[in-house]
């Protein structure tokens, strides 16, 4: 009778597994598979060959690598060429090298059109002469206005109006003199720049730092950006964080290479995962402070970051292809001295091609490969 009941139970299980769950009521609770055992007598186990793996307690971590770029204030190096045509010549410093303040970075030649220069010189001379004549005549006229006002009765309304008109005329005269003088001064600067016609000139570093050039310079105009100077020492680096793999306070490992190729490891700490630091930082980035040596003259442009996104300790890893699923339950088939049996497991998560199980009592069990 026992064998009949057992065969009926196995038959029912086979029907459910063959035709799906349409004919079987699905349980919301974990199903105990122990009732559905395929037993083999001990004397037959030894005669049957099964390939197995033995479960063991282990640790698991997932890591990924990313490139963190240095974030620091940069100063643009611009060309101060208000007059003439600048002809680009050549770079005077190497790219990505440390330079001192005043170091010569770029060389160019300044050129002026001969007709243009002659025209501007004449314009300066005539404008200066006319200006001197204007000032002389206007000052004489104002003196006459003041003299006429002095003839009016003291304390009279006419005298008050004359003085008010005189002050207004003086104010307009002074404003005209200032504006004209500025025009003449600017013109004089341009004419003075003609002395540099054909000369070789340089653009110098406004401050010390690491210089980076844009080698695609075909033309130089006034205030053109020739290069950028960045602070040679920074501890803040930015790395993309669009998937949210970083946490504030998280410790990360990194490595960088010196110019001579020597490689070093370094530890960093995540400062922020948003743009709240006092730099031009963007969102979707994590900002890391690396503990570089204090006497390090130049920090690297980038650091290779190794980030541990998952860290699990004292767990059991079971290959996914060895786990069976039935009616909401997960189980494995194990080989024992008494035969083959099925054992329920509780899966925590996936780790690569494995399932993670927290139940360390499974250690030592031999899972059958099918």
Please tell me the pTM assigned to this model. 0.50
The answer to whether residue 359 scores a pLDDT higher than 50 is yes
CATH number given to 74-112+197-230: 2.40.50.100
Q: Give me the pLDDT at residue 61, please.
A: 75
> Which has more confidence, 197 or 219?
197
Looking at 2.40.30, 1.10.760, 2.60.120, 2.130.10, the CATH number of the domain 65-72+231-310 comes to 2.40.30
What tens digit of pLDDT does each residue of 66-115 get?
Answer: 889 888 888 999 999 999 999 999 999 998 888 999 999 999 999 999 99
Residues 46-76, buried b or exposed e (16+ Cβ, 10 A)? eeeeeeeeebeeeebeeeeebebebbbeeee
Q: What is the pLDDT of residues 198-238, one digit of tens each?
A: 999 999 999 999 899 877 788 899 999 999 998 888 888 98
- pLDDT greater than 60 at residue 182: yes
> Which residue, among 225, 195, 226, 221, has the nearest Cα to 112 in the 3D structure?
195
Domain 24-61+312-368 belongs to what architecture? Beta Barrel (2.40)
Select the highest-mean-pLDDT range: 42-51, 184-193, 337-346.
184-193
For tokens 């033995």, the residue is: 54
> Sorting pLDDT into bands at 50, 70 and 90, what band is 273?
low
């Amino acid at each position: 009778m026992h064998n009949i009941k057992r065969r009926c139970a196995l038959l029912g299980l086979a029907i459910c597994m063959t035709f799906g769950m349409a004919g079987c009521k699905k349980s919301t609770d974990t199903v105990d598979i122990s009732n559905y055992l395929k037993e083999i007598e001990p004397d037959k186990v030894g005669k049957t060959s099964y390939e197995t793996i033995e479960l063991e307690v282990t640790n698991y971590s997932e890591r990924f690598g990313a490139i963190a770029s240095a974030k620091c204030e940069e100063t643009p190096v611009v060309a101060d060429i208000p007059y003439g045509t600048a002809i680009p010549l050549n770079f005077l410093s190497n790219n990505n090298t440390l330079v001192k303040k005043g170091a010569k970075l770029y060389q160019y030649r300044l050129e002026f059109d001969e007709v243009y220069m002659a025209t501007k010189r004449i314009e300066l001379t005539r404008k200066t002469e006319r200006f001197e004549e204007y000032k002389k005549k206007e000052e004489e006229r104002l003196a006459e206005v003041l003299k006429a006002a002095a003839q009016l009765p003291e304390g009279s309304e006419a005298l008050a109006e004359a003085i008010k008109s005189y002050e207004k005329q003086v104010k307009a005269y002074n404003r005209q003199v200032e504006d004209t003088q500025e025009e003449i001064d600017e013109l004089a600067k341009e004419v003075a720049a003609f002395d540099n016609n054909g000369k070789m000139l340089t653009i110098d570093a406004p401050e010390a730092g690491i210089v980076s050039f844009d080698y695609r310079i075909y033309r130089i105009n006034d205030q053109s950006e020739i290069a950028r100077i960045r602070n040679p020492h920074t501890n803040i680096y930015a790395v993309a964080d669009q998937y949210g793999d970083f946490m504030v306070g998280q410790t990360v490992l990194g490595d960088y290479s010196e110019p001579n190729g020597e490689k070093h490891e370094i530890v960093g700490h995540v400062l922020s995962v948003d743009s709240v630091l006092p730099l031009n930082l963007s969102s979707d980035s994590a900002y890391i402070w690396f503990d570089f040596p204090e006497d390090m003259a130049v920090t690297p442009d980038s650091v290779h970051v190794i980030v541990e996104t998952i860290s699990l300790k004292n767990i059991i890893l079971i290959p996914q292809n060895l786990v069976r699923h039935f009616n909401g339950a997960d189980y494995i088939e194990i080989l024992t001295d008494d035969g083959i049996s099925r054992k329920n497991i509780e899966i925590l998560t996936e780790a690569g091609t494995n399932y993670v199980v927290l139940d360390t009592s499974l250690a030592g069990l031999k899972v059958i490969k099918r």
